[in-house]
């Protein structure tokens, strides 16, 4: 599964040693989607992924993740475990929404959201 959004919280790194004697590391983040109704999503990067994808607050990323649930003492807990985080260049994304430059002397039409629905109306909304 994938989700895109901005990192709004970076929690402190956690680490330890498992019962089997293996060391582990986990970094947790909160991502906020950039939709009409934004959603906040808590996720973690575990093991070598924690170092492979260093994320910072304010960074926009496309997160690939798995959802897993487990039972503990009769209660169920769900985790979102990231396995890839690709940074998205915020400056490049809006530029793609506009058409390429028109040849010299040709007017460039405004983006569709700015075009009036009635040709006699000159209000932009």
pLDDT in tens, 84-109: 999 997 555 444 444 455 555 556 55
Question: What residue spans define the domains of the chain?
Answer: 2-89
pTM exceeds 0.85 for this model: no
CA–centroid distance for 6 within its chain: 5
Quote the CA–CA distance of 102 and 27 in Å, as a whole number: 47
The CATH label, of 3.40.30.10, 3.30.70.380, 2.160.20.10, 2.40.50.140, for the domain at 2-89 is 2.40.50.140
Quote the CA–CA distance of 46 and 19 in Å, as a whole number: 17
CB 6 within 8 A of CB 30: no
pLDDT in tens, 41-84: 999 999 999 999 999 999 999 999 999 999 999 999 999 999 99
């Amino acid at each position: 599964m994938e989700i895109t959004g901005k990192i709004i919280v970076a929690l402190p790194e956690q680490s330890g040693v498992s019962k089997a004697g293996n060391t582990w590391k986990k970094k947790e983040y909160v991502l906020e989607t950039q939709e009409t109704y934004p959603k906040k999503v808590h996720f973690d990067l575990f093991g070598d992924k924690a170092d492979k994808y260093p994320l910072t607050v304010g960074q926009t990323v496309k997160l690939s993740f798995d959802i897993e649930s487990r039972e503990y003492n009769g209660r169920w807990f769900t985790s979102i475990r990231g396995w890839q985080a690709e940074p998205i260049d915020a400056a490049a994304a809006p530029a793609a929404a506009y058409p390429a430059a028109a040849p010299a002397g040709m007017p460039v039409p405004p983006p569709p959201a700015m075009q009036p629905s009635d040709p006699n109306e000159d209000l932009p909304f």
